[in-house]
Amino acid sequence: MMQTLMNVLVAVTVAAGGQGDGVRPELEKIVEGKGATAALARVSDGPRAWSGAVGVRDLERGGRPSPNGYFRIGSVTKTFVATVVLQLVDEGKVRLDDPIDRHLPGLVPNGERITVRQLLNHTSHLYDYMSEPGYSTNRWRGDARFRSYQPRELLKVAFAKKLPHDGTWHYSNTNYVVLGLLVEKLTGRAYGEEVTRRILRPLGLRHTIVPGDRAGVPSPHANGYEPVPHLVDATRMNPSLDWAAGEMISTTADLERFMSALLSGKLTSAASLRAMRTTVETGAGFAYGLGLQAYTLPCGRVWGHSGELIGYLTFAFRSDSGKSMTMSINPSTRNPSTEEVMSIATKAFCGASG
């Protein structure tokens, strides 16, 4: 019934010889080590690009995953939302150091002391609603995974608890639910419409979607699974529980194009991009800016964001030299380790590109 992952075939599309030589074997090792049922990756350096896929598309039916397949990008959604907010800053509709209460009065407890900047870089100390049982899209929720949620429902859960102001950095999906509502207040349109209008259409990202209540993932895609403890198919779910914090769907090529446009200054002013790249220390293995993570590799810093939503892990990063790596992993009986992922990133950014 379940295809043996040790013997799966590899599907690759090569546009530049050698570009993925160091990445593909690392992906195969993760699949063989039960860290993934499937994995997609794209590595590029200017006009040179490699796209590949390993593993199996569907554990029941088999099949090769497509290097061009769709996947849930989870918290990489935050970078799209942050970009829209910085565009609104450029238009003079909001300032980074405005208290959120100025634009959404009465919505956020102590909102007169929490700024837009603090929401963007997770220094607001707002409690993460996904820490509550049954409110995380990274966990199996049975039939509840098809339930629809409204943003203010999620905030009600978040605001029922408080985080201590202990000087530590706290990642909180609540921040980006608030920011999604801020975008809607300032523009008069749904946040997903603004993402589409301001980013997806201008960049021609035809394979990037803000799904709303739609439970499916477009084809082609590799199915996502969750061990409970046996693997169950978690591909279909209503992602409104993530909303502006992580609901979007994309492909490796589209994410590469987005990150390239953003980090080369094509989507915001130079001042706004500098603000996005101004980081705080997190103690989590990366620095965090305004909707951007910064990881230090042996050959320098890379910028982008990672994402997790049940059945899918996403990594989308770019160096200032123009190299990029975008990867989607469908975890198996375990998640791939940080060491495994960083090994791939090191091969992509620091290894020989020839």
Active site residues: 75
Dihedral sign (CA 338, 340, 343, 347): negative
Look up residue 310 and give its amino acid.
I
CB contact at 8 A, 51 and 13: yes
Question: Rounded to an integer, what distance in angstroms lies between the CA atom of residue 117 and that of residue 275?
Answer: 9
Check: CB of residue 313 under 8 Å from CB of residue 252: no
Q: Angle at the Cα of 45 (from 204 to 11), degrees rounded to 5?
A: 80
Residues whose CB is less than 8 angstroms from the CB of residue 252 and which lie 6 or more positions away in sequence, other chains included: 40, 41, 42, 51, 67, 68, 326, 327, 328
**How many angstroms separate the CA atoms of 274 and 103, rounded?**
24
Cβ atoms 64, 56 nearer than 8 A: yes
Closest by CA to 157, choosing from 120, 127, 121, is 127
Structure tokens at 9: 């075939």
- DSSP element (H, E) containing 324: strand 323-330
Determine the 3-state secondary structure of 303 from DSSP: strand
Residue type, 141: R
Q: Interhelix angle for 252-263 vs 77-90, to 10°?
A: 30
